[in-house]
Structure 1
Amino acid sequence: MSRRTTTTTQRTVTALDTGAGPAVAEDDPWVTTGRAARELGLRRTEFDLAVRLGRIRTRPGRVPGERRVARAEIERLRAGPDFPEALRRSVHAVGTAEGADLLGVAKARFTRLARLGLLVPVAFHLNRYRAVVWLYLADELRLFGDDEKHAALLTGRMPEGLRGLLDSGTDLRPRNWRSRHLGFLLREAEDPWARAGAVASFLDPLHVAQLVRDPYDRSHLNGFRRRPPGGANPESPGARIAADLMTARDDDEIAWLRADLASLVDEARAHRPAPRPSVSCRTASASEPLASRRPVLAPPPARPAASARRDTPAAADRAGRRGLLARWRHRTARAATSPATPG
């Protein structure tokens, strides 16, 4: 056995013995996101959040929608101080109850601060009752609580202006999450059409249709629209709730998204026009008579002609019997009417 074959076999056996998953050559400069998460000691939710926050850099994989991580990136993170605890702390997300404990306030006050946009959610999920549970970075909450200029917001009566906003129903949590998630999608996009699709993902399809009139441009753009996080069945109630949270509702938010989309679509057209049918196909389709485009229906089966029906053996037999009967009746009638012969 050659030295090269022996080395390859040893790598395969080592990967299987350690339970590290499929064998991957150590000199492969890229690994899958699942393998990267295991090597970094992160749960998948922690890894995905670290990617969205820019803590871990990824690149497109070999197939559409796949992301990969460079081994050099993994080594950079592993060489950081206090690994892996520091990396885990940087992506530790908490809900309302734990967040309120970190700030030393009641849950109701924490919710009011978040509705006013002073605390920005980093993610959300739906509980078993399909209620939205917002998540916040623990590190950001600590920084907010340690800032002396926020002390008045954590204790005592809420300022009059802020109380008025709360009374009017203000809730900036969905909008702030959309702004944060859009930043992640734009960082991940590596193509002008992908950046335009990222912005279009936060607009109602009607707004996109009003802005991008050309049907070929719009069809190409829709291929880059991103679904809300969660990966649920698009027709499920949970997916519809997530889609609603991802769609801009405020007039000013819609206005700046439309302006950004118009600029990005112009940039994408200049970079690479959207695919269109060839000129010959369009010309042939336009010049083809309308009648020729209609489906041609097969004619119903023809009924046999009368002469053909008479030529069948059964018909000939019936005709022969009718002829004999007619001649017999004719002779009988003549005999009855002829005079008797004298004796």
Structure 2
Amino acid sequence: MSDSTTTPSAPPATAPAAVRPPLASARAARELGLKRGEFDLAVRLGHIRTVPDEGGGGGRRVDRAEIDRVSGEDGFPDVLRERVRAVGTAEGAALMGITAARFTRLARLGLVVPVRHYFNRYRTVVWLYLAEELRQFVAEEHNAVLLTGRMPERLRERLDAGVDARARNWRGRRLGLLLREADGHWARAAAVAALLDPVHVAEIVTDPYERDHLDRVGQRWKPSRGTPGSPSADLAARITTAQDPDEIQWLRAELTSAVAEARASRPAPHPTAPAPAGHCPGTAARPKSTGPAGPVGPTGPSARERAGAHRRRTVAVTEPATTGTRQTDGCAPRVRERPAPSCRPPAPEAEPPRRLLGWLRRRDR
């Protein structure tokens, strides 16, 4: 019998699970079986959590783990679809068991708050409401007097005065949803600025670079308003920006506070300072001359000077620096031309005839 023992081999190491990258919004909506509008509303309402896009696109993405969590909930996807189902006036009135006229009065009074809106072909605003919230409104006992019978007198007086709180309530709700998405102090400031007219933003944020930074951060939250100056664009602006004086005053105060917090946390990017005037990139600054400079050797003639050598002869020299003055004004020495001295030897082209004459004279001797 052999005394040798067999050592059991170690189990093979398992490769780490590959990290699954987060999904873009369109892909995540398809994975969950939702329409894009349903998906966006689910994100705004907090039913689906998102993460910032690390690729620099500025948007939001959904982790694979979040897709698994949402799809693993009981009653998926019907329960999630019902949570984000938005209905218009007629469908909402039928859901609450009241007439469309009474439903409109409740909406104008601000008792039911719209969650979305769009413009039809007649340029009329169509408000949409969460079906889940309408059912909750009906279920609350203290709202029973608003669903049947005559409206209370104080509410009738407000209606007679022309009150319509739908747009303002939508803006207030939108601000809360945007602040939920904001991932930083500048993003929170941009969410508030999205509800103000640019004139009010410029009065509060006087630095143009800070305004540009706010505009870039909040670009994804800007609604489409159509062609600037068109009737649809003007109508969209009246809905998406604050109109009431007290609402504007409150938003201005909120923006002032949010920008102050953003500056304290991280200043907005500014351009770098330009290089000093007269300085050539890549060259060191010339020291100031303290005394007369020595003579500088002549510089070779330029191509133009060589081409016109038969008309004039010049030599380029640098000016000697004088005491207490700079030698040059730019990056290259300043040169000037002066006539050549009369004792200068003949030019090279005159030498061949002189050598030939000397040879003939020596031959005659």
Common fold: TM-score over 0.5: yes
Please name the residue that 2:139 is paired with: 146
Matched, 1:188 2:173: no
- C-alpha contact (below 8 Å) 2:210/2:268 kept by paired residues: yes
- C-alpha contact (below 8 Å) 1:201/1:226 kept by paired residues: no
> Which residues in structure 2 correspond to 1:73-222 (within 5 Å)?
73-222=66-215
- Looking at structure 2, the residues matched to 27 and 258 of structure 1 have their Cα atoms a distance apart, in angstroms, of 44
Change (3 A) 1:230 1:224: closer
- Select the residue among 20, 37, 42 that pairs with 1:50: 42
The SS at the match of 2:217 is coil
Shift of residue 130, structure 1, vs aligned partner: 1.4
Deviates more, 1:174-183 or 1:269-278: 269-278
- Looking at structure 1, the residues matched to 92 and 18 of structure 2 have their Cα atoms a distance apart, in angstroms, of 42
Shift of residue 163, structure 1, vs aligned partner: 0.7
Deviates more, 1:220-229 or 1:169-178: 220-229
Matched, 1:245 2:239: yes
Change (3 A) 1:158 1:27: same
Matched, 1:278 2:278: no
- C-alpha contact (below 8 Å) 1:58/1:68 kept by paired residues: yes
- C-alpha contact (below 8 Å) 1:228/1:243 kept by paired residues: no
Letter in 2 for 1:275: P
CA-to-partner distance for each residue in 1:48-77, whole Å, 9 max, x for gaps?
111111111112222333221011111111
Let me know the Cα RMSD of the aligned residues. Answer: 2.1
Shift of residue 231, structure 1, vs aligned partner: 4.0
Change (3 A) 1:116 1:145: same
Please name the residue that 1:34 is paired with: 26
Change (3 A) 1:44 1:102: same
Shift of residue 114, structure 1, vs aligned partner: 0.4
Shift of residue 227, structure 1, vs aligned partner: 6.6
CA-to-partner distance for each residue in 1:254-303, whole Å, 9 max, x for gaps?
1111111111101111122122233345x659xxxxxxxxxxxxxxxxxx
> Which residues in structure 2 correspond to 1:310-329 (within 5 Å)?
none
Letter in 2 for 1:33: S
- Looking at structure 2, the residues matched to 239 and 71 of structure 1 have their Cα atoms a distance apart, in angstroms, of 38
- C-alpha contact (below 8 Å) 1:198/1:226 kept by paired residues: no
Shift of residue 241, structure 1, vs aligned partner: 2.5
- Looking at structure 1, the residues matched to 166 and 206 of structure 2 have their Cα atoms a distance apart, in angstroms, of 32
- Looking at structure 2, the residues matched to 223 and 175 of structure 1 have their Cα atoms a distance apart, in angstroms, of 25
From the two aligned structures, give the one with the greater helix fraction.
1
Shift of residue 250, structure 1, vs aligned partner: 1.1
- Looking at structure 2, the residues matched to 139 and 175 of structure 1 have their Cα atoms a distance apart, in angstroms, of 21
- Looking at structure 1, the residues matched to 227 and 133 of structure 2 have their Cα atoms a distance apart, in angstroms, of 32
Shift of residue 135, structure 1, vs aligned partner: 0.3
The SS at the match of 1:163 is helix
CA-to-partner distance for each residue in 1:98-155, whole Å, 9 max, x for gaps?
0000111110110000010000000001111111000000010001011110011011
- Looking at structure 1, the residues matched to 84 and 68 of structure 2 have their Cα atoms a distance apart, in angstroms, of 19
Letter in 2 for 1:53: L
- Looking at structure 1, the residues matched to 116 and 32 of structure 2 have their Cα atoms a distance apart, in angstroms, of 21
The number of aligned residues is 260
Please name the residue that 2:332 is paired with: none
**Percent identity for Structure 1 against Structure 2:** 60
The SS at the match of 1:279 is coil
The SS at the match of 2:23 is strand
- C-alpha contact (below 8 Å) 2:112/2:134 kept by paired residues: yes
- C-alpha contact (below 8 Å) 1:30/1:69 kept by paired residues: yes
- TM-score computed with the length of structure 1 as normaliser: 0.71
- Looking at structure 1, the residues matched to 231 and 105 of structure 2 have their Cα atoms a distance apart, in angstroms, of 27
- C-alpha contact (below 8 Å) 1:228/1:246 kept by paired residues: no
- C-alpha contact (below 8 Å) 2:225/2:236 kept by paired residues: no
> Which residues in structure 2 correspond to 1:224-235 (within 5 Å)?
224-226=217-219, 231=224, 233-235=226-228
Change (3 A) 1:120 1:191: same
- Select the residue among 248, 251, 254 that pairs with 1:260: 254
Segments of structure 1 that go 5 or more residues without pairing to the other structure are 1-24, 286-343
